[in-house]
Amino acid sequence: MTRRRWIADEINGNTAALLGEHAVHLIRVLRAEVGQEFDIATGAEVRLGTIVSISPDRVEFALGLAREVKATPKITLALAIFKFDRMEWAIEKCTEIGVARIIPVIARRSDAHLAAAAAKRHERWERIVRQASEQSRRSAPPEIAAPIKLKDLDSILPTGGVMRVVLAESLAASEATRLADILQERPTEVALAVGPEGGWADDDLAWFRETGWVSVSLGDTILRAETAAIVATAIAMEALR
C-alpha cells in the first residue's frame, strides 16, 4: 500500500514536524496515532517518517531511510489573473502535473477588482499548492510568487537558458507555431505565459515580442484560461521529461 506523503513544516536532523492546521488535519481528520508511518518530504529528499508524539497543533516524526527523488523539468507558469475560483483550479492542477514555479501576473485584461485583491490571496495560494503537492506525492511544492505587473515579469526570471513562450490565441492558423513543435528543441527550462479570459491585449503581446518571447498556439480551438494553462503545462512536462 502506498504511504501518504506530507511536506514537513519543520526539520531538525533526523526529526521533522507538521504544525498548525497542517497537523490538525492529520490529527483530527486522519486520526493520527503514535507509531504510524508516512512519507515525509523534507525538500531535498523524501524519508520514512514514524510519528513519535502528537500535541494539539503539532505532530513529530522520527525520520528513517531516504527515498530517491527524481528531478522534474523546470517549468515556470506565468498565469494572468482571472476569476479566482477558476484560476485556483488551474493552480491546483498545474501543481499536480509538476510545474516548478507559478507567477500570478496582472495583465491589461485582468479585472481591476481581482488585481487589487490578488495580493491577499497569496497565502491561500500557498496552501493550495502545498495540499496539491502532498496529494500528488511531490517532494516539494512549487514556488508561488506574489502577484506582479506584466512589465516586471522578465526581472524575476533567470537571465539565460530559459525558453520563453506566450500562448497567443489571436494567431492565425497559418502563422501559429504549436507549443509541442517548438519544445522539440528540448530546452532545459521553459517559461509559459497564459493570458486572462479574452486573451492578451495587443499591448501585452507587443511587450512579449519586444522582450523576446515566442508566440505559440495550442491548436485550432480557443480554450478557457484555466484549460489552456493545464494543457500547456502538461505538454511542456511531457516534452521535457
pTM of the model: 0.85
pLDDT > 90 in the chain, percent: 67
Query: What's the chain's length in residues?
Result: 241
50: β partners: 37, 62
Q: Would you state the pLDDT for residue 177?
A: 85
Kindly give, in sequence order, each residue whose CB lies less than 8 Å from that of residue 84, ignoring residues fewer than 6 positions away. Answer: 114, 117, 121
d(CA 66, CA 186): 31
Tens of pLDDT along 69-83? 777 789 999 999 999
pLDDT at 172 over 70: no
Q: Would you state the pLDDT for residue 198?
A: 86
Q: What is the mean pLDDT of residues 201-208?
A: 93
Residue 47 Rama label (left phi>0; alpha psi -120 to 50; beta): beta
- Identify whether the C-beta of residue 168 lies closer than 8 Å to the C-beta of residue 217: yes
Q: How confident is the model at residue 145 (pLDDT cuts 50, 70, 90)?
A: very high
Q: How confident is the model at residue 103 (pLDDT cuts 50, 70, 90)?
A: very high
Q: What is the mean pLDDT of residues 130-152?
A: 92
Domains, in order of start, for the chain: 5-67 (2.40.240.20), 74-240 (3.40.1280.10)
- Look up residue 234 and give its three cell numbers: 502538461
Q: Would you state the pLDDT for residue 170?
A: 59
What is the Cα 178 distance to its own chain's centre?
22
The DSSP 8-state label assigned to residue 142 in this structure reads P
- Identify whether the C-beta of residue 101 lies closer than 8 Å to the C-beta of residue 143: yes
- Identify whether the C-beta of residue 46 lies closer than 8 Å to the C-beta of residue 66: yes
Tens of pLDDT along 104-139? 999 999 999 999 999 999 999 999 999 999 999 888
Q: Would you state the pLDDT for residue 3?
A: 80
Ranges of H-type helices in the chain: 20-24, 84-97, 112-117, 122-135, 179-182, 202-210, 225-240
- Look up residue 36 and give its three cell numbers: 504510524
